Structure 1
């Protein structure tokens, strides 16, 4: 039970950090081209991640599966971020944080690691409650005319759902060390964005301290910490449950927008936030009970196929946090 609560806390922290990322990304893309922001975000993450891997001494070698999985997940994660960053550049930070939460509905449709057999219908009722919450939140933002940024965020939600499910699928029956996996992901992302951003990299030299602070925050907290935490947590739970907990992201986006931005919390926004939290924890309880039941009485075909009923835990021990940041959850 303690391990389950710790995993839930890590996923909730990921939601909080990502909820704050839209305002940071909106600010950064107002000062720099989108592709430069993406390259800088990945490059800073890669440098920090490789430094952490080097500090671990004898555990620096990557396994072939970690390299293959990291390369594939690096591409899917880069696709999520390019859609999100262009999306937030062409819509409001609030809309971006709200629309991406549709991931919670899409992930269970793709997830096959939460247990053999379909999730109970009540799980989808809980997800439906979260969708209703998003509807309240979106109506509060007066999203009557769909903008290109909103369409990009919808695409990002679909790709992120596939990415989260893929993390879970690649982890079944395998050992994937989050730090090593993230190092490959960030290197792949840096390589993908280097050439497209090369022509405008000179703008970084003229950026002010606030812009650099936003880039570092996006890289180390919204990038490195979130990548590590998500990979670590999904290996210890299912992608469906992970997506539900991270589905509180729009609530944090609204809270941060009210606390640090110019947005105001209206009655509809408060109602949407309440429904989102209720739906998230209801769905979490349903999924946990379903996964526990399957683990206690696995399907007959699982005994013969050798398929693991649960994702395999990483063997790399506690994940080391970026300098100056406590990552005690792992």
Structure 2
């Protein structure tokens, strides 16, 4: 019985480590997407890039999951359509914003959506944010100020920053919409509808507004590889890794690990894109990262360490008391 218990604990620990690795891998892929997407936009219109990226992802998911997708409920279809419209708005704003800011700045400003969620819940559901959410919001606002106003070394706040922060609002709205998904509904079927909506809307936008800026000669082998990477790895692959990984880790662990996306975004922007960082931008990025961690985890990982330390102190004290009691008892026996 004891051996079985130990074996189960070891298996759970291994699965937890595996889950953490998968989530970090997902954030790593998302982190690379910022600089690759920015480079792709040098050659192609925003709506074309997003249309190809999401339509291809939707088609691959359909091929893998078609039985489940065709059996989805009307409720799941409705949720997917609503979330898809919101996701379309988020990606369009984020990608147009990316044309006006660095990839690292885009990554960190986008991550502020996690801080916005509690306040949108307050607006829609009258659920007041806790002290952690308020503290995170203050840190986030200050950090955003450092990045957006002083990050370039001079006082500036342009369209790129405004569009990126606006996209964060829509990402926060998407979180709220998807929170209402029933456990009976297949999340990948809903994801398919979201991907399809983004792809269709962006292609319609491309046909209506951006065909004039499209150059067929821009579709080189390198560009095709970038689009395939964004579709297969950064969209479907990362999403799949996250869904699997979150089955084996607790919400606090998942939230903390997912916040690494912005860090990887900045890292790859510096390595692959040669992004220059000022002291102000580094301070701002650090404050935004801390705000995301505080908002997502409520510092549960610190509380857990404190509880374990206190528990260890109590056990140590109890052992000392037991040893003292035994010593006193032994001394009493000797005196008799």
Normalized against structure 1, the TM-score is what? 0.70
2-structure distance, mates of 1:15, 1:280:
14
Name the CA shift for 1:149/1:228 in 2 (closer, same or farther; >3 Å). same
Q: Which moved more, 1:29-38 or 1:86-95?
A: 86-95
Aligned to 1:28: 40
Identify, as 1 or 2, the structure richer in helix: 2
- Out of 133, 153, 157, the position equivalent to 1:142 is 153
Aligned to 1:97: 107
- CA drift at 1:279: 4.0
- Out of 120, 128, 146, the position equivalent to 1:110 is 120
Does the aligned pair in 2 maintain the 1:105–1:128 contact within 8 Å? no
- Out of 220, 223, 230, the position equivalent to 2:235 is 223
- Out of 145, 150, 155, the position equivalent to 2:166 is 155
- CA drift at 1:65: 1.9
Aligned to 2:308: none
Deviations, residues 13-41 of structure 1 (Å, cap 9, x unaligned): 44433333221221111101111111111
Aligned to 2:298: 286
Deviations, residues 105-151 of structure 1 (Å, cap 9, x unaligned): 21111247xx9954431343144334444444443333622222222
SS of the residue corresponding to residue 90 of structure 1 reads coil
2-structure distance, mates of 1:241, 1:124:
21
The alignment status of 1:192 with 2:201, answered yes or no, reads yes
Name the CA shift for 1:220/1:58 in 2 (closer, same or farther; >3 Å). closer
The alignment status of 1:179 with 2:185, answered yes or no, reads no
- Out of 89, 93, 101, the position equivalent to 1:83 is 93
Does the aligned pair in 2 maintain the 1:245–1:284 contact within 8 Å? no
2-structure distance, mates of 1:266, 1:125:
25
2-structure distance, mates of 1:206, 1:140:
32
Deviations, residues 75-121 of structure 1 (Å, cap 9, x unaligned): 11111111111111233323322322321321111247xx9954431
Name the CA shift for 1:95/1:225 in 2 (closer, same or farther; >3 Å). same
1-structure distance, mates of 2:69, 2:187:
12
Q: Which moved more, 1:77-86 or 1:117-126?
A: 117-126
Aligned to 2:273: 261
The alignment status of 1:72 with 2:82, answered yes or no, reads yes
1-structure distance, mates of 2:76, 2:98:
31
Structure 1 residue runs of 5 or longer lacking an equivalent are 293-330
Normalized against structure 2, the TM-score is what? 0.69
Aligned to 2:72: 62
- Count of residues paired in the alignment: 284
SS of the residue corresponding to residue 185 of structure 1 reads helix
